[in-house]
Structure 1
Amino acid sequence: MTRSLPPFWPAVAHRCGMIFFGTLVFFLTLGIVGMSATLFLAILGVLMAPANQDSPYQHVSGKETSRNRILTIDIVGPILGSPQTEEDTLFSSIVGVTYGYQVQQQLEAAAEDESVKAILLNIATPGGTIFGSQAIADGINAYRKATQRPVYAFVEGISASGGVWAMVAADKIYADHGSLIGSIGIIGPSVLFYDRPTSLDSGLFQGGVTANAIEERTLSAGRGKDFGNPFRRLTPAEIQVFQAGLEQEYSTFVSHVAKARGIDPSVIRNQMGAMVFSNAQAQQYRLIDGTLSRPQVITALARAAQIDDNYAVVRLRRDRTPLINQLFGVHLPRPSQQEQHLWQQQQLCALSQQRALAYYGQLASLCRP
């Protein structure tokens, strides 16, 4: 009796199907095992990590195991108030902007930590908003009152205008060699006036307009609402009102510095003005207590805190990357130097058109197209 053989193509299809599904199951199993192993190792790494990984502080120098901490807080770049958007929060530490209310919160948290024996304010700023600078000064005063622990300010390069406003609340102020300190003054917006213009350039993409005459009309309600309209002159009343506001803020600035540093207000007004000074000049005017290097300032601060050489210099930990980002390698790209400058420029330009600032430099140049 002859046996009938199975049809050829159905058998081949069956065999191919078995191979395909077997391979698929194999790779799926391999992927699941791989991901499980990766997740297991990541969790194990977190569990087995040293205890200091959970600390909010990152070691900078000194004895890493010491529980006597000197906390360094940076006041770098323009001083603003508080971040208004998620983008502001995201880029503040990357592009070099200081938010005064964030510094105030950091000082409040440090006051609750018994291991923080002293604060070192690392300053490199041309100034910024009045309220942001005042927030830092308030934070320093509150910290000193609550803890009786020393706060030293260290100028690396420049502390001008709002930087001075903030730093004078510290117990001692030292500057690194070749720094600039000062600019005790208030600057308001620069107002343009076009006297009978005959053309306007609206930018690269829109082209220009040329005519025998240009008529511009701004619709507004309320006297002085269109303050700064470049097609009309400021009225004497408008100038008087705005100048009075600047003088009021300037008087507050002068009184603040004079009281904190023991300087006669008349010396600030009549001799110092809003100039910036070298180290020797700034020390002569009592804006700083001397010229020291960073290691020398830390040594002096440790001595004032009575912790001698048993201390650890720390800063707030910046890399608090979520676990999911660590697992899959998600990292935010660092903006270029040009992008950083543009972001700072946009922030300051917007501020300069809205309010008076304690800032050193020509803000009007930032807002030109």
Structure 2
Amino acid sequence: MSDEWNASAAGNGDDRSWKLLEKTLLAGVQEQRRARRWGIFFKTLTFIYLFGALALFTPSLNLQQGSARSENHTALIEIRGMIMADEAASADNVVSSLRAAFEDAKTKGIVLRINSPGGSPVQSGYIYDEIKRLRAEHPDIKVYAVISDLGASGAYYIASAADQIYADKASLVGSIGVTAATFGFVGVMEKVGVDRRVYTSGEHKAFLDPFQPQKAEETQFWQGVLQTTHQQFIDSVKKGRGDRLKAAEHPELFSGLIWSGEQALELGLVDALGSSSFVAREVIGAKEIVDYTREETPFDRFAKKLGASVAEHLAVWAGFQGPALR
């Protein structure tokens, strides 16, 4: 009996030891998890702090890069890539740069260095109108557009607001036209055996749906919208270029075709051949070039991507995937 009791006591002692060891191990794991969470927390705080510092200080450096100059200079503003609301060549960015350059008392002339295939007619129109307005307010400061590789469509729209346009002999210039492209998947849907079900309020609300057959009256309507936009483009170019355009002899100027810089000179699309440094040195007479281009900070780029991602996930979470106005 005594031996059985001793064996039982020994077994209970082993169980208690294992339970104590198990609790100790679990406590260690939990402590590691807490330490890991706190580490992530402090790293996140550091990350936010660094980007906050960039947001506070970098924009001020970019916007003031020309203000501390003590000599007369040529102000340079880059128009690169697509001219769209959320791109570097948006109207907000370009107009902010233009205003800063015009307001600097040391600015002797402004060069718009263009390398763009075009983009939004709305964004291009905003920039065109602001150039005209600022030129009227500051008649002593002229604006020169210099096309490097490409100045097409909306980019040429902007250039036509300048006092003069320069290009290289091999630059591509023009493309005065409007385009809107999509695809048609009706045949594919029929072959696959899938029906497209669209529910709308409004007879023509889904007229641009690529999964539905085109209707003649809707195609004609959309063509009218494009023609109206094209005529606005033509009117602005004619107003900006005036008698320098050889439009009477060359009606294809507004057909959407594009020409080399050498050909564009003969057609009156550009005034002369030359680079940005040539214009600054020989035309404006201020060889020192100060860049007023508004650049996005790393924080701006991060915030834009983060904001788009968060908005998308919130929309899915909240169920905002139904009818939309667009």
Paired residue for 1:56, among 64, 68, 71? 64
Paired residue for 2:291, among 301, 309, 315? 315
Paired residue for 1:162, among 154, 166, 176? 154
Paired residue for 2:284, among 286, 302, 306? 302
Distance 1:158 1:252 in 2: 22
- Corresponding residue for residue 228 of structure 1: 208
Distance 2:143 2:178 in 1: 26
Q: Offset at 1:114?
A: 1.2
- Corresponding residue for residue 86 of structure 1: none
1:109 aligns with 2:100: yes
Paired residue for 1:217, among 177, 190, 197? 197
The DSSP-based 3-state class of the residue aligned with 1:181 is: strand
Distance 1:283 1:295 in 2: 19
What amino acid does structure 1 have at the position aligned with 2:260? S
- Corresponding residue for residue 74 of structure 1: 78
- CA distance 1:266–1:228, shift in 2 (3 Å): farther
* Structure 2: gaps of 5 or more residues: 1-56, 306-324
Residues paired across the two proteins, number: 244
Paired residue for 1:127, among 105, 108, 118? 118
What amino acid does structure 1 have at the position aligned with 2:168? D
Distance 1:159 1:71 in 2: 19
Deviation per CA, 1:291-334, whole angstroms, max 9, x where unpaired?
Answer: 1133222123323xxxxx5x53101376898xxxxxxxxx77x9
Contact between 2:69 and 2:106, CA under 8 Å: does it hold in 1? Answer: no
Contact between 1:154 and 1:173, CA under 8 Å: does it hold in 2? Answer: yes
- CA distance 1:99–1:319, shift in 2 (3 Å): closer
- CA distance 1:268–1:165, shift in 2 (3 Å): farther
Contact between 2:72 and 2:107, CA under 8 Å: does it hold in 1? Answer: yes
* RMSD of Structure 2 on Structure 1 (CA): 3.3
In the superposition, the TM-score normalised over structure 1's length comes to 0.59
- CA distance 1:54–1:240, shift in 2 (3 Å): closer
The DSSP-based 3-state class of the residue aligned with 1:164 is: helix
Contact between 1:124 and 1:159, CA under 8 Å: does it hold in 2? Answer: yes
Paired residue for 1:288, among 262, 270, 273? 270
Deviation per CA, 1:98-146, whole angstroms, max 9, x where unpaired?
Answer: 1113211222233322122211101000000001111111121122111
Contact between 1:57 and 1:317, CA under 8 Å: does it hold in 2? Answer: no
- Corresponding residue for residue 364 of structure 1: none
The DSSP-based 3-state class of the residue aligned with 2:291 is: strand
Distance 1:127 1:106 in 2: 19
Distance 2:90 2:253 in 1: 31
Distance 1:236 1:144 in 2: 45
- CA distance 1:319–1:256, shift in 2 (3 Å): closer
The DSSP-based 3-state class of the residue aligned with 2:209 is: coil
1:171 aligns with 2:163: yes
Contact between 2:167 and 2:273, CA under 8 Å: does it hold in 1? Answer: yes
What amino acid does structure 2 have at the position aligned with 1:70? T
What amino acid does structure 2 have at the position aligned with 1:104? V
Instruction: Considering fraction of residues, name the structure with more strand.
Output: 1
Q: Offset at 1:55?
A: 7.7
Distance 2:208 2:62 in 1: 52
- Corresponding residue for residue 141 of structure 1: 132
Contact between 1:69 and 1:118, CA under 8 Å: does it hold in 2? Answer: yes
Q: Offset at 1:242?
A: 0.7
Distance 1:156 1:196 in 2: 42
Q: Offset at 1:66?
A: 4.5
- CA distance 1:152–1:237, shift in 2 (3 Å): same
Deviation per CA, 1:233-264, whole angstroms, max 9, x where unpaired?
Answer: 22111111111111111111111112211236
Q: Offset at 1:67?
A: 2.0
- Corresponding residue for residue 249 of structure 1: 229
Distance 1:220 1:317 in 2: 44
Contact between 1:153 and 1:167, CA under 8 Å: does it hold in 2? Answer: yes
Q: Offset at 1:183?
A: 0.3
- CA distance 1:276–1:101, shift in 2 (3 Å): same
Deviation per CA, 1:70-113, whole angstroms, max 9, x where unpaired?
Answer: 110010000013x4xxxxxxxx5xxxx31113211222233322
* Structure 1: gaps of 5 or more residues: 1-45, 47-52, 84-91, 200-209, 304-308, 322-330, 340-353, 356-369
Paired residue for 1:153, among 131, 136, 145? 145
Distance 2:97 2:241 in 1: 24
Instruction: Considering fraction of residues, name the structure with more helix.
Output: 2
Q: Offset at 1:275?
A: 0.6
Contact between 1:75 and 1:124, CA under 8 Å: does it hold in 2? Answer: yes
Deviation per CA, 1:140-183, whole angstroms, max 9, x where unpaired?
Answer: 11221111111111111000000010011111110124110010
- CA distance 1:79–1:168, shift in 2 (3 Å): same
Contact between 2:128 and 2:157, CA under 8 Å: does it hold in 1? Answer: yes
The DSSP-based 3-state class of the residue aligned with 1:257 is: helix
In the superposition, the TM-score normalised over structure 2's length comes to 0.66
